[in-house]
Amino acid sequence: MYTADVSRYTHDIYRRCGMSGILLPKLSLGFWHNFGAIDSYERSRQIAHYAFDHGIIHFDLANNYGPSYGSAEETMGRLMDDSFRPYRDELFIATKAGYDMWPGPYGNWGSRKHLMASLEQSLQRMHLDHVDLFYSHRFDPNTPMEETLQAMVDIVKQGKARYLGISRWPLKAFEFANQYLSQRDVPLLIYQGRLNMLNKEVIDNGILDYCKHKNIGFIGFSPLAQGLLTDRYLHGNIPTDSRMAKEKFLKHDALTPELLHQLHEWNKEATENGLSLAERALDWVLEQEGVTSVIVGASSVEQLEKNMKAAYNRQNKN
């Protein structure tokens, strides 16, 4: 039987999400990898317990995280039953719909049919009656934005999600979404986009500025560039238990001599300041004005423990 650490809220690691009533931890835990049916449940459980015991109360999921699709949410359901049910109202659980989930034309993208059915399935897998945050996972150029957004409004009005988020939509569509939702009294809580020292797209395309300007939260995903911005690949070889060894989402050819050179430079700078490359990379994202939180992945408790130093050691400035 799991009992959460009584000192889990000792450290002030929380930032307000835009102008909302919600505080999020500077580090949030992502379930994209390491929580699927192919992973050891015991290890997933240890990582989730460690996170919660240290005040990381935001878990980020999506319908298709696994593999197999849906299995990360099933792991979340098991965690609810085994550990977290007594703590449900301390947790901020997010899921998403929009990427490939089941066969046929209703299994992905942004139709009302897909979003509503997908969230029903997510709730069943996670053994929850609502999520705290429901995202449109990607922009659908072929479905009217009004259809996607109205389905999201109705999901909140039905009590199946407390807040709404947008992930990976282009700026113009994101602006439209923000206006549409605020006119319907369901203000947008947060935008989720990729942000790390190697990928500054949301800075260059104005998304982060828009969030700041409109007081919408921003949460960055892949802050360690899937492990590139750690000591995982610094020596130029590919550890057999690493994400790159799986050759699916992080390919061998990402590790170019130019990139390795850059990683060594950053690692040197980090070391001179008493930091690891991973800590420096997380600090860098958390230093960007307008960033509420970063979603990290971890394949072990040790990785999460190391990464948490960034959230714990920094002053809460943003």
Ligand X SMILES: NC(=O)c1ccc[n+]([C@@H]2O[C@H](COP(=O)([O-])OP(=O)(O)OC[C@H]3O[C@@H](n4cnc5c(N)ncnc54)[C@H](OP(=O)(O)O)[C@@H]3O)[C@@H](O)[C@H]2O)c1
Residues that bind ligand X (CB under 6 A): 30-34, 60, 137, 167-168, 192, 221-227, 230-232, 242-243, 278, 295-299, 303, 306-307
The residue type at 85: R
131 contacts 95 by C-beta, under 8 angstroms? yes
Nearer to ligand X, 24 or 158 (CB): 24
Q: State the Cα–Cα distance between residues 252 and 246, nearest whole angstrom.
A: 9
CB of residue 277 to ligand X, shortest distance in Å: 8
Nearer to ligand X, 125 or 168 (CB): 168
Nearer to ligand X, 66 or 223 (CB): 223
Distance of CA 281 to the CA centre of its chain: 16
166 contacts 180 by C-beta, under 8 angstroms? no
Q: Give backbone dihedrals phi and psi of 159, rounded to 5 degrees, phi first.
A: 80, 15
Nearer to ligand X, 178 or 222 (CB): 222
CB of residue 187 to ligand X, shortest distance in Å: 20
CB of residue 219 to ligand X, shortest distance in Å: 8
CB of residue 286 to ligand X, shortest distance in Å: 13
Q: State the Cα–Cα distance between residues 33 and 64, nearest whole angstrom.
A: 11
Structure tokens at 254: 């990402």
Q: Give backbone dihedrals phi and psi of 156, rounded to 5 degrees, phi first.
A: -65, -45
Nearer to ligand X, 33 or 125 (CB): 33
CB of residue 232 to ligand X, shortest distance in Å: 4
Structure tokens at 130: 């609502």
CB of residue 27 to ligand X, shortest distance in Å: 9
Q: Give backbone dihedrals phi and psi of 92, rounded to 5 degrees, phi first.
A: -115, 100
In whole angstroms, how far apart are CA 291 and each of 180, 203, 317? 23, 11, 11
Residue number with the smallest Cβ distance to ligand X: 30
Nearer to ligand X, 191 or 210 (CB): 191
233 contacts 259 by C-beta, under 8 angstroms? no
CB of residue 304 to ligand X, shortest distance in Å: 7
Q: State the Cα–Cα distance between residues 184 and 285, nearest whole angstrom.
A: 32
Three-state secondary structure call for residue 132:
strand
Nearer to ligand X, 184 or 242 (CB): 242
CA dihedral 167, 73, 144, 214 (to 10 degrees): -30
